[in-house]
């Protein structure tokens, strides 16, 4: 008789496929609206289109709700007033639509609903999926369908050829990989000024061409060639609050000293005919959003506006970020060609990121007035709900800088960095999502990212490393971190249906990695890019990734298995639990037997023991591959050893998890040099790397805003869904400090005084838990309590 084990894996995989193909349907009705555009022959590759709908109202309704989407983006105006922009970034199979109540912008009589829609061709940032410019709008109120719905109402469009791209290399320079396309050039003489006003004549505008009807995601079938499925926006609209005004730090060329006073008072600055001026504006901190420049006169003047995170010395080093002397400006640039009209407002289609703004003004035969400057943020509306306070100012500075870093690395998705890429990578996103939970108590963007990465899983079974993205990139270890991220959500939120829906995706990833294993239970040669951390390794990938036998990647696979098991167990997937538990046990035994080096008392990066790293031992501790009794001393060795590969800012997150697990939790608060050094360099956000950084703002470097609450204050889930709390502080050198973590039931508050040996703890209703200090356990109940030792 054949062993039943021969059939176990195929059976498990079949069960996983059943989950895939019998997912519940959420089919909805076709929209009573159609996608509008123009024939491809009438649209340039870099296409900006304005659309107008004019309707007359006898009375203003109390509500007029509409749903709206566009490829790739829209800006919405009602009677000349800006209302919002979108849609929330997503892929075409789950394309987002946004909802607005237009009633407060309407008036009796004639009303104009205006849209600027754009798709920038080769200049599209990598984060946007494109299918050619188009838009769709429907009224939620039946009474207004005929007047508003695209494909039914009278929508007119105008291709705005005043827009062109500015190109990297030809018009501006940026150092390092840049995924944000180009800049924008606007020719004021060709722009249809006043197009969004009711008084504007659109008699020469074209009728838009109606295409397919809007199709909701999950519709049972479709006709024609509709390639877009629509899903309701799952996240809030962005924070577009007004930003503060920058200071003028430097001027070159013509300069009237009275202009400085005019700038500070908000009055018009004046630039005579046939002059050239360069101004350097300093925001004093990094920010992201849209700027607006208002000019009058100055026919044939050229204004070039550049945006940069920092300034550079000739060797491309940045030095202290406040210093400007001896440095040059390098950054993305927009160009405005003025037509001489009054009150001309120039802004951007897509947001910019800056600390420094360089404005070059070259006037023609007439003088120019710079009437106004204003900027609005474009960031996710996180509200700070967590707190960490100590007697030391440095901790407040790190918290504030980390918070700004987290804010700037999030809008309609998380993003690795706001200036260079704006791409949502799984590796960065796991860290960001935990910051969102611990510092803001907001899980909406975390859920959004989990969905999107699940949608990115390809036919081979693993997720794309960054998504949404119009260029596919595969980093297999990032798929493992997606499992860890789903486990984070499972532990912190009581949302079982959301988690259970992704069990097939978990299995797909785990089986993909298992199929790469060799007979010694280590991963074999890995396809794609095995990016792990920025070290001296080839392609930032661990030793053995190319030829096989990487201990780092093999144990990261185990790390994902062990955080998948509680999810599988919670939903009764007992066969999978047993199968992967057995597999994990075999892998760990093989790794320890073949890669543990007795002389160095640590795991090697591969079985030939030719190299060593913190990374292999991080996963060795996190997975208990190394016996638990050895954890504490092993951690201390990998911190002390100088000739092993070290974790950089990104992997410091996992180094801290290891410190916490091994009984060395004080390590984090006692070793903040990485972040203190960045503050000493004048950074207002935390950078991608400690030295020779590209990005001055990078998501993974904001991890202290998680660690202060989770590790130092010691607040963490004790059981799934955060039904119970475990509080186990790691004060390090601190005697007194306090913190707050937002929990779904209400805030968890802690206040410690280790010199007086007590803790004051407040738990919200219906939350119990445990406080552990110096090996002793104390029960925690809802309400206020004082624990003494």
How confident is the model over 543-559, as pLDDT tens digits? 999 999 999 999 999 99
In degrees rounded to 5, what are phi and psi of residue 366? -130, 160
Assigned CATH topology for domain 247-377: Jelly Rolls (2.60.120)
What confidence score (pLDDT) does residue 9 get?
Answer: 56
More confident residue, 6 or 279: 279
The structure tokens listed for 190 are 């060709």
Please list, residue by residue across 627-651, b when 16 or more beta carbons sit within 10 angstroms of its beta carbon and e when fewer do: eeebbeebbebbbeeeebbbbbbbb
Lowest-confidence segment of 26-30, 460-464, 492-496, 780-784 by average pLDDT: 26-30
Contact 50, 157 (CB under 8 A): yes
What confidence score (pLDDT) does residue 368 get?
Answer: 98
The structure tokens listed for 253 are 């060329």
What confidence score (pLDDT) does residue 222 get?
Answer: 56
Mark out the alpha helices in 614-760 (DSSP H runs).
Answer: 614-622, 631-640, 649-661, 667-670, 673-680, 704-707
What confidence score (pLDDT) does residue 459 get?
Answer: 95
- Tell me the residue ranges of DSSP E strands in 233-299: 247-253, 269-271, 276-297
Contact 699, 428 (CB under 8 A): yes
> What is d(CA 125, CA 182) in angstroms, rounded to the nearest whole number?
8
Q: What is the DSSP letter of 236?
A: P
What confidence score (pLDDT) does residue 218 get?
Answer: 82
* Residue 421, pLDDT above cutoff 60: yes
Identify the band that residue 25 occupies on the pLDDT scale cut at 50, 70 and 90.
Answer: very low
What confidence score (pLDDT) does residue 477 get?
Answer: 98
> What is d(CA 328, CA 322) in angstroms, rounded to the nearest whole number?
13
* Residue 123, pLDDT above cutoff 90: yes
Short-list 543, 540, 563, CA closest to 482:
563
Q: What are the pLDDT digits (tens) for 59-76?
A: 999 999 999 999 999 999
Identify the band that residue 6 occupies on the pLDDT scale cut at 50, 70 and 90.
Answer: very low
Contact 117, 51 (CB under 8 A): yes
Q: What is the DSSP letter of 712?
A: I
Identify the band that residue 18 occupies on the pLDDT scale cut at 50, 70 and 90.
Answer: very low
Using N-to-C axis directions, what is the helix angle for 426-435 and 444-455, rounded to 10°? Answer: 160
Contact 485, 473 (CB under 8 A): no
* Residue 784, pLDDT above cutoff 90: yes
- Residue range 288-314: mean pLDDT, rounded: 98
What confidence score (pLDDT) does residue 390 get?
Answer: 98
The structure tokens listed for 169 are 């290399």
Short-list 52, 56, 57, CA closest to 36:
52
- Residue range 562-583: mean pLDDT, rounded: 98
Contact 386, 739 (CB under 8 A): yes
* Residue 14, pLDDT above cutoff 70: no
Q: What are the pLDDT digits (tens) for 615-630?
A: 999 999 999 999 999 9
* Residue 26, pLDDT above cutoff 50: no
- Residue range 751-761: mean pLDDT, rounded: 98
**How far is CA 525 from each of CA 261, 486, 584, rounded to the nearest angstrom?**
65, 27, 19
- Residue range 189-196: mean pLDDT, rounded: 98
What confidence score (pLDDT) does residue 226 get?
Answer: 59
Distant-in-sequence, close-in-space partners of 572: CB < 8 Å, separation ≥ 6: none
Whether the link from the prior residue into 72 is cis, omega within 30° of 0, is: yes
* Residue 777, pLDDT above cutoff 60: yes
What confidence score (pLDDT) does residue 5 get?
Answer: 43
Specify the residue for token string 């350097």.
Answer: 280
* Residue 21, pLDDT above cutoff 50: no
Contact 662, 730 (CB under 8 A): no
Q: What is the DSSP letter of 710?
A: I
205 in the Ramachandran plot: left (φ > 0), alpha (ψ -120 to 50) or beta? Answer: beta
- Residue range 194-214: mean pLDDT, rounded: 95
What confidence score (pLDDT) does residue 220 get?
Answer: 59
* Residue 759, pLDDT above cutoff 70: yes
Q: What is the DSSP string of 387-454?
A: EEE-S-HHHHHHHHHHHHHHHHTBSSSB-S-TTTT---BHHHHHHHHHHIIIII---HHHHHHHHHHH
* Residue 2, pLDDT above cutoff 90: no
Q: Domain residues of the chain, as ranges? A: 34-160+188-232, 247-377, 713-789
- Residue range 729-746: mean pLDDT, rounded: 98
Lowest-confidence segment of 25-29, 598-602, 641-645 by average pLDDT: 25-29
609 in the Ramachandran plot: left (φ > 0), alpha (ψ -120 to 50) or beta? Answer: left
What confidence score (pLDDT) does residue 690 get?
Answer: 86
The CATH classification number of 34-160+188-232 equals 2.60.120.260
The whole-model pTM stands at 0.95
Lowest-confidence segment of 222-226, 293-297, 311-315, 376-380 by average pLDDT: 222-226
Which helix (H) or strand (E) element contains residue 362? strand 352-362
Q: How would you class 382 by CB atoms within 10 Å of its CB: exposed for 0-12, middle for 13-18, buried for 19 or more?
A: buried
Specify the residue for token string 């925690």.
Answer: 780
CA angle (291, 293, 308) in 5-degree steps: 45
Please state, rounded to an integer, the average pLDDT across all residues of the chain.
95
**How far is CA 335 from each of CA 179, 184, 403, 420, rounded to the nearest angstrom?**
20, 6, 32, 20
- Residue range 485-514: mean pLDDT, rounded: 98
Mark out the alpha helices in 360-392 (DSSP H runs).
Answer: none
The structure tokens listed for 266 are 């908000």
Own/partner long-range contacts of 588-597 (Cβ < 8 Å, ≥24 apart): 588/555, 588/558, 588/623, 588/624, 588/625, 589/521, 590/520, 590/521, 590/522, 591/521, 591/522, 591/551, 591/554, 591/555, 591/558, 591/620, 591/625, 592/620, 592/625, 592/626, 594/520, 594/522, 595/551, 596/626
- Strand 183-187 to strand 332-337: parallel, antiparallel, or no bridges (unpaired)? parallel
Which residues does residue 739 pair with via DSSP β-bridges, in sequence order?
388, 750
Percent of the chain with pLDDT over 70: 96
What confidence score (pLDDT) does residue 23 get?
Answer: 41
Assigned CATH topology for domain 713-789: Maltose phosphorylase, domain 3 (2.60.420)
Percent of the chain with pLDDT over 90: 94
Mark out the alpha helices in 227-377 (DSSP H runs).
Answer: 258-265
What confidence score (pLDDT) does residue 28 get?
Answer: 63
């Amino acid at each position: 008789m054949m062993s039943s084990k021969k059939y176990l894996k195929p059976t498990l995989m079949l069960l996983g496929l059943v989950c895939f193909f019998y997912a519940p349907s959420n089919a909805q009705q076709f929209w009573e609206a159609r996608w509008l555009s123009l024939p491809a022959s009438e649209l340039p590759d870099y296409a900006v289109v304005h659309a107008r709908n004019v309707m007359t109202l006898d009375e203003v309704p109390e509500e007029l709700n509409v749903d709206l989407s566009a490829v790739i983006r829209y800006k919405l105006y009602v009677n000349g007033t800006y209302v919002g922009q979108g849609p929330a970034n997503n892929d075409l199979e789950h394309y987002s639509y946004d909802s607005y109540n237009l009633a407060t912008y309407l008036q009796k009589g004639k009303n104009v609903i205006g849209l600027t829609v754009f798709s920038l061709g080769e200049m599209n940032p990598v984060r946007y999926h494109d299918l050619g410019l188009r838009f769709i709008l429907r009224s939620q109120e039946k009474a207004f369908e005929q007047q508003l719905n695209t494909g039914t109402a009278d929508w007119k469009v105008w291709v705005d050829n005043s827009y062109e791209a500015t190109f990297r290399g030809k018009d501006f320079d940026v150092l390092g990989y840049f995924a944000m396309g180009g800049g924008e050039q606007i020719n004021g003489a060709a722009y249809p000024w006043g197009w969004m006003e009711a008084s504007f004549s659109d008699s020469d505008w074209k009728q838009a061409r109606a295409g397919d009807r809007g199709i909701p995601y999950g519709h049972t079938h479709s006709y024609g060639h509709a390639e877009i499925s629509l899903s309701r926006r799952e996240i809030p609209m962005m924070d577009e609050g007004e930003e503060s005004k920058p200071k003028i730090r430097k001027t070159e060329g013509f300069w009237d000293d009275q202009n400085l006073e005019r700038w500070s008072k908000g009055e018009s600055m004046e630039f005579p005919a046939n002059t050239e001026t360069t101004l350097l504006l300093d925001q004093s901190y990094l920010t992201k959003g849209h700027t607006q420049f208002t000019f009058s006169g100055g026919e044939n003047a050229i204004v070039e506006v550049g945006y940069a995170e920092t300034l550079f010395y000739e060797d491309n080093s940045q030095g202290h970020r406040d210093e400007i002397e001896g440095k040059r400006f390098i950054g993305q640039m927009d160009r405005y060609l003025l037509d001489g009209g009054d009150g001309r407002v120039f802004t951007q289609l897509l947001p910019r990121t800056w600390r420094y703004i360089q404005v070059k003004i070259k006037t023609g035969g007439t003088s120019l007035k710079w009437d106004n400057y204003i900027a609005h943020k474009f960031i996710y509306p996180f509200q700070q709900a967590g707190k960490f306070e100590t007697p030391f100012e440095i901790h407040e500075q790190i918290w504030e800088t980390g918070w700004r870093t987290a804010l700037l690395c999030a809008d309609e998705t998380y993003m690795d960095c706001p200036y260079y890429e704006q791409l949502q990578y799984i590796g960065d996103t796991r860290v960001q999502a935990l910051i969102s939970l611990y510092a803001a108590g907001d899980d909406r963007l975390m859920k959004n990212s989990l969905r999107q990465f699940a949608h990115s899983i390809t036919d081979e079974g693993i997720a794309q490393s960054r998504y949404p993205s119009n260029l596919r990139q595969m980093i297999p270890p990032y798929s493992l971190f997606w499992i860890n991220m789903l486990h984070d959500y499972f532990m912190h939120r009581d949302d079982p249906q959301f988690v259970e829906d992704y069990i097939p995706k978990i299995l797909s990833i785990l089986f993909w990695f298992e199929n790469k294993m060799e007979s010694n239970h280590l991963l074999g040669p890995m396809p794609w890019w095995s990016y792990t951390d920025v070290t001296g390794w080839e392609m930032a990938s661990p030793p053995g990734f190319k030829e096989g036998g990487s201990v780092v990647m093999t144990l990261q696979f185990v790390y994902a298995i062990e955080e998948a098991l509680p999810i599988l167990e919670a939903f009764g997937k007992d066969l999978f639990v047993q199968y992967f538990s057995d597999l994990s046990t075999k892998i760990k035994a093989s790794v320890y037997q073949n890669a543990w080096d007795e002389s160095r008392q640590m795991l090697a990066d591969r079985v030939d023991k030719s190299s060593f790293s913190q990374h292999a031992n991080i996963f060795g501790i996190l997975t208990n591959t190394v016996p638990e009794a050895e954890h504490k001393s092993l951690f201390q060795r990998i911190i002390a050893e100088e000739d092993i590969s070290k974790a950089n800012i990104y992997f410091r997150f996992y180094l801290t998890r290891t410190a916490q697990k091994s009984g060395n939790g004080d390590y984090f608060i006692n070793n903040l040099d990485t972040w203190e050094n960045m503050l000493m360099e004048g950074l207002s956000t935390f950078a991608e790397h400690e030295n020779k950084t590209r990005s001055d703002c990078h998501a993974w470097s904001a991890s202290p805003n998680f660690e202060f609450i989770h590790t130092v204050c010691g607040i963490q889930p004790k059981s799934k869904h955060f039904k119970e709390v475990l509080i186990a502080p790691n004060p390090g050198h601190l005697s007194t400090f306090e913190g707050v973590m937002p929990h779904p039931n209400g805030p968890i508050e802690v206040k410690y005084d280790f010199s007086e040996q007590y803790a004051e703890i407040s738990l919200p209703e219906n939350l119990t838990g445990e406080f552990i200090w110096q090996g002793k356990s104390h029960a925690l109940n809802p309400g206020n309590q004082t624990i003494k030792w």
